[in-house]
Structure 1
Amino acid sequence: MTTNITTNITTKDGTTLAVDTIGQGAPVILIGGAFNDRSTVAELGAELASGFTVVTYDRRGRGASDDRSDDYLVANEIDDLAAVIEHVGGEASVFGHSSGAVLVLEGAMHGLPIDRVAVYEPSYCADENQPKPPADVHDRLKGLLTAGDRDGATELFLGEVVGVPAEVIAGMKAGETWPFLVDKAPSLPYDVLLSTPWQLMPLDRIAGIKVPVLAVYGDQTSPGLAAATKMVAATVPGAELRVMAGEDHAVLQRPTALAAILAKFFG
């Protein structure tokens, strides 16, 4: 049986990140999106552990990781990813889901020592005609969190950023997973800053990525996420595009097929 090892590492600004390592082989880092922590990518990690040293971590402000910064900055999360890469030996392949996919791409754009990049449905806006949240959603999220209203911040993100209907959110609030979502609320401004969903994705910067990229989406996902994934593949020179039949944005709950795709790409 493969043993999981949990370590705490310290990043550039003194923030402590909880990092899990499992398996053996070349290092692969897995990063979840909004409302995710290292537990939500653990099953995918277990699927890959026979061939890779799999590393997962709680992004700052969620799970067992804290946040020592004075403000929300994308640079904070890039510094965190750099620290995790250093922790696993100074070079790694990286997979990201949703806003975690955007974080991985940002890491590559900033020249972090990343061997290969795989992304699943990055949460960019690829079509100026698709619905967008107002640009002040980041400031309103911060305001709610400053006031201690995690429930309100969770509702705001789900409603205006993700586009979940109000009646569905009401049902979610009555469900058993709501406390898990609310616990991640302090990190939501990072997800918004990474994706900047009120504006089009930064194609000129994405085109500058120099490492191999695999972009994956499910054919049952939302049109916006599919469009963003296809745009990443079309923009990064030499990137690969894969479509998973019958899959949607919740792929991490059913990771076996995705793990096979990633193992081939990272192998």
Structure 2
Amino acid sequence: MPFAKAADGAAIHYQLHGSGAPLVLLAGQANNHHWWDPVRAEFAACFTVVDLDHRGTGESDRPDTDTYSTPNFARDVLAVLDHAGIDRAHVYGTSMGGRIAQWMAADHPERVDRLVLGCTSPGGKHGVERGPEVRAALTRTDPDAVRRALLELMYTPVWLADQELARPGREFHTLGDATMPAYARRRHLRASARHDAWDALVRIKAPTLVVHGTDDAFNPTANAPLLAARIPDARTLLVPGARHAYFEEFADVATEPVLAFLDQPAEP
């Protein structure tokens, strides 16, 4: 089980799968590498997949310190690449993972080949925030109600019903790492909320694909054209009918074009 050491000494757990050019997969806020379990194999069939547990999650260290921010998460990823002996990689980040990926590409362009930003936002005053009804649903006192609200933000009702019928009690890996201490969960939330990469986006040189579900209310779809317009020469892929976890529910629509984008020849 490999661990990289971050700049502050925190141990960051990561995994390697497959073979070929390296591809980093970055999970969302308060989630670990299991976020990618449903689709990892498809990417590992074409690339050497690197996925990791963000600090505060999974097998990584969980310091109760002021080291949780999207730029610092990006430095954690660079520590993982260094430890794995990888100089340069494709990066695919979703949700908060997409926010982390923005800093990697903007601040360390020599380390990023191609960039995919999924269901994410530039943050700050330019980002489009989720509506008050979504925030209210996620702050209910009943944990079962919160879980249900989160499921319905991630997936369509029809797909959820099919899943629950076919696999009663199945585990969903996009609902957060249940083993996280409360302080780490709060620090993840704060890190994501404080993200503001608007001024940095124009520095991104990597060919970039912005992917978003058209029915995403958790991270509103309006963020996709903002990112695509701000990042030089970025292109957009909208997944019709998809909510926040488009990469899982709509894998049959979303995975192939992402793979095709990543597999294009290197830019001159």
TM-score, structure 2 normalization: 0.75
Question: Residues of 2 paired with 1:223 and 1:68: CA distance?
Answer: 28
Alignment-mate amino acid for residue 97 of structure 1: T
Question: Residues of 2 paired with 1:55 and 1:91: CA distance?
Answer: 12
Alignment-mate amino acid for residue 111 of structure 1: H
Question: Residues of 2 paired with 1:51 and 1:89: CA distance?
Answer: 17
Which secondary structure does the structure 2 equivalent of 1:93 belong to?
strand
| Alignment-derived partner of residue 19 in structure 1 | 14
Query: Is 1:166 the counterpart of 2:162 in the alignment?
Result: no
Aligned counterpart in structure 1 of residue 27 of structure 2, from 15, 18, 32: 32
| Alignment-derived partner of residue 100 in structure 1 | 97
Aligned counterpart in structure 2 of residue 114 of structure 1, from 107, 112, 115: 112
Query: Is 1:238 the counterpart of 2:233 in the alignment?
Result: yes
Alignment-mate amino acid for residue 66 of structure 1: D
Query: Is 1:192 the counterpart of 2:190 in the alignment?
Result: yes
CA contact (8 A) 1:31 1:101 kept: yes
| Alignment-derived partner of residue 54 in structure 2 | 59
Which secondary structure does the structure 2 equivalent of 1:63 belong to?
coil
Percent of aligned positions that are identical: 23
Distance of aligned partners of 1:102 and 1:130 in 2 relative to their CA distance in 1, 3 Å threshold: closer
Alignment-mate amino acid for residue 54 of structure 1: V
Alignment-mate amino acid for residue 14 of structure 2: V
Q: Which runs of 5 or more residues in structure 2 are unaligned?
A: 152-168, 264-268
Q: Which runs of 5 or more residues in structure 1 are unaligned?
A: 1-5, 134-157
Distance of aligned partners of 1:163 and 1:261 in 2 relative to their CA distance in 1, 3 Å threshold: farther
Which secondary structure does the structure 1 equivalent of 2:50 belong to?
strand
Aligned-pair CA distance for 1:103: 0.4
- 1:20-67 alpha-carbon deviations (Å, 9 max, x no partner): 111111000000111321011132221111111111100111011004
Aligned counterpart in structure 2 of residue 258 of structure 1, from 246, 254, 258: 254
Question: Residues of 1 paired with 2:65 and 2:221: CA distance?
Answer: 35
Which region of structure 1 is more displaced relative to structure 2, 172-181 or 93-102? 172-181
| Alignment-derived partner of residue 3 in structure 1 | none
Q: How well do the aligned residues superpose, as a CA RMSD in angstroms? A: 3.2
Distance of aligned partners of 1:264 and 1:195 in 2 relative to their CA distance in 1, 3 Å threshold: farther
Alignment-mate amino acid for residue 89 of structure 1: I
Alignment-mate amino acid for residue 112 of structure 2: I
May I ask how many residue pairs the two structures share in their alignment?
234
| Alignment-derived partner of residue 139 in structure 1 | none
